[in-house]
Structure 1
Amino acid sequence: MSQTAVKRLYMMQVGNMPQYQIPIVCYLVQMEDGHNILIDTGLPEIIPEEGSDFENGQNVTVQLASIGLTPDDIDTVISTHYDLDHAGRHAAFKEAQYVVQRVHHLDAATNPRFAATRPEWDQPSERIRLVDGDMELLPGLELIETSGHVLGHQSVLVRLPKTGTVLLPIDAVSLGKDFSRDEHADGSNPDAEAIRISTVKLLDLVEREQIGLVIFGHDQAQWAGLKTLPEYYD
C-alpha cells in the first residue's frame, strides 16, 4: 500500500443545536505517512449572540487529545466553509495549512455572515491554500466544490482501504432526506438552484462510483448509528 494512502477516518460530535436536534461535527483523516487532516473545527469557545441556538459539547482539541494528538499534530485543516459551527476553532491549529475554496475565502472578506469567525479563519496568507473547484488534495482525499449553502462550499471524498469510498457532503446536503433529485424549492430561497445543482452533482458522483456510505453533516438520526471517536472507519 502506498505510504500516502488514507488510513482511517474519525468522526467527532463537538456540539449541537438542541432546539432542532442537530449535531455539530468535525472529522479527522489520518494518512499512512502520518499526516493528520482535520475537516472543520466546530463551534467557538465563546458562542456569540447570533449563535445562541448552538451549544458546545466536548470540543475538537479535547477529543483529539483522547487519541494522543495535540493541535500542533494537525498538518492540514480542510475548511469546508466559514460558518460559525464549522470554523469556530481554526486558530487553535497553529502549525496547520488551511485549505479553502478561493471564491469562498474572497467572499468571506466582505460578507457579514462570516464576521463572527473572522479571528479564526483570517490566518496569515502563507498558511492558507486557496483552491479552485474539484481537486485531489492527497491520494484518496478529494475536495468537491458544492456552492449553494454558501458560495464556495466544499464537500470531501475519502477513499478508505476497507470501508471503501465515503462521501462527506457537509452542508451541501446536511440531512439525508434532502439527498434527492426531487425539487422541494418554494421560491423563498435565492440559493435554491445552486443547492439543487450541487445536490445533483453529488448524487451523480455516488451513482458513478457506487459509493456505499454518505455521511450527512447534521443528520442526528444517522449520526446516532455511526462510529465516532475513538472508533473509526478504515
Structure 2
Amino acid sequence: MPRRGVRRVLPLLLGWEELPKSVSVHGAPHGERLREPVPGILLECEDGWLLLDTGFNTALLRDPALRRRYYPSPSYQPELPGPGEPLEAALVGVGIAVEDVTAVAVSHLHADHAGGLKHFAGRVPVHVQRAELAYGLSGRPEVERHTIFRVDFDDPRIDWRQADGDTEIVPGVTAVLTAGHTPGHQSFVVDLAGGGGFVFAFDAADLTENITDERPVGASIGVDPQATVEPIRRLKRLAKEKGYELVPGHDPVVWPELMKRQGTVR
C-alpha cells in the first residue's frame, strides 16, 4: 500500500519582526538585534490543505491607535510584507485561495502566529493545545504582556479542536507538545507520502543555534528559560530517529532557503 502522508510542503512568509536576539536566545548579548521571518506552512494532505500558523492580525498593525495599544515597545517592530492581507497574498502566490484551506493548526497563540485566525472563524476546524487556549482565555493581566492578544482568537465562531499532548491531526501530521515558550506550544512532525519529512519546531527553537548548541529560547512563560532546552532535545531525538530535517521557527537564513528549495519564493 502507498504510504499515507503529506503530498506537498509549502513554506510561506507572512511578515518580519525586528527584535532583540535575546527574545530568541536566552542570554544573547545586549543590543544585538535580528530581523526574523514570520512563518506559515501550507500542507497538501489527503483531505485538503492544512495551514500551520496564520501570521499577524493586520488591523492591529495598520491602525495607528491599535498599533500604539498593542505594540507600544520600540524594541519590537512587526513588519508586513506588502499592502494587502499577508496570508491571502502568500496563498495566492502558491496558487491557493483562503477558501481552499480545510483545516488550521496553530503552534501557539502569540500575535505573529494566531493573528490571521480571523480568516477562518466559522469556516474550518482550528487545532490547538488545550493548555494554550486555556491560558489565552484566562483573563490574567500578564497574558497580553506576553504578546498574546485575546482579540485575535476569542471568537465564538472558531471551531476549536483541543488536544492534550501529542496528537495526529491528519494522516502524516502529528502535533507534538513542546511547552515552555508558551504553556501549550506545539511543534509538528510532517511525514511525506513519498518518504522523508520534516520536524517544524516553530518557537520551541527560533534559530539554528537553539538547536545545534541547545540554547534556551529567550521568551518563556511559567518556566525557567533552561526548561526550554528539553523540548529542543526531544525534537532533535524525533528528527534523528526519523531521519527528518529539523527546521527552526524564525531563522532568517534557514526559512528563506527552505522557501527556495520548496519553490515558494515570490
Q: What TM-score do the two structures reach when normalised by structure 2? A: 0.76
1:23-79 Cα deviation digits (max 9, x unpaired): 11111011134x111101001113233435110114011121233432222111101
Listed as ranges, the matches of 1:155-166 within 5 Å are 155-162=187-194, 164-166=196-198
State how far apart, in whole Å, the 2-side matches of 1:224 and 1:152 are.
Answer: 27
Partner of 1:44: 57
1:69-112 deviation per Cα after TM superposition (whole angstroms, max 9, x unaligned)? 32222111101111010011101124111100001100111242
* Superimposed CA distance per residue, residues 130-167 of structure 1 (whole angstroms, 9 cap, x where no aligned partner): 11101111111110000011111000111113461201
Please tell me whether the aligned partners of residues 143 and 157 of structure 1 are also in contact (alpha carbons under 8 angstroms). Answer: yes
1:21 and 2:35 matched: yes
Give yes or no for contact 2:201–2:247 (8 Å, CA) kept in 1: yes
**Partners of 1:117 and 1:75 in 2: how far apart?**
24
5+ residue gaps, structure 2, are 20-33, 62-66
Which SS does the other structure have where 1:65 is aligned? helix
Cα contact 1:42–1:89 (8 A) shared by 2: yes
The residue number in structure 1 matching 2:206 is 174
Q: Which amino acid aligns with 1:56?
A: L
Count of paired positions: 229
TM-score by length of 1: 0.86
State which of 53, 72, 78 in structure 2 corresponds to 1:54: 78
Contact 1:77 1:97 in 2 (8 A): yes
Looking at secondary structure, tell me which structure has more helix per residue: 2
Structure 2 equivalent of residue 209 of structure 1: 242
> 1:13 and 1:156 mapped to 2: Cα distance?
18
Q: Residue 86 of structure 1: SS of its match in structure 2? A: helix
User: How far apart, CA to CA, are the structure 2 residues paired with 1:12 and 1:61?
Assistant: 11
Q: Distance in 1 between matches of 2:237 and 2:168?
A: 18
Go from structure 1 to structure 2 and tell me whether the alpha carbon gap of 1:100 and 1:172 turns closer, same or farther (over 3 Å shift).
same
**What corresponds to 1:129 in structure 2?**
161
- In the other structure, the counterpart of 2:26 is none
Match of 2:228 among 195, 201, 204: 195
User: Where do 5+ consecutive residues of structure 1 fail to align?
Assistant: none
Q: Which moved more, 1:46-55 or 1:89-98?
A: 46-55
Residues 228 and 129 of structure 1: CA distance in aligned 2, closer, same or farther (over 3 Å): farther
RMSD after superposition:
2.8
Question: What's the offset of the Cα at 1:229?
Answer: 9.6
Report if the CA contact (8 A) 1:181-1:200 is conserved: no
Change (3 A) 1:85 1:101: same
Deviates more, 1:174-183 or 1:85-94: 174-183
Are the counterparts in 2 of residues 12 and 228 from structure 1 also a CA contact under 8 Å?
no
Contact 2:111 2:147 in 1 (8 A): no
Deviation of residue 214 (structure 1)?
1.7
Counterpart residue identity of residue 110, structure 2: D
Deviations 1:160-187 (A, max 9, x none): 134612010000011011114656699x
CA contact (8 A) 2:4 2:193 kept: no
| Alignment partners' CA distance in 2, 1:119 and 1:182 | 34
Shift of 1:128: 0.5
User: CA, structure 1 residues 196+37, in 2 after alignment: closer, same or farther (shift >3 Å)?
Assistant: same
**Who is 2:128 aligned against?**
100
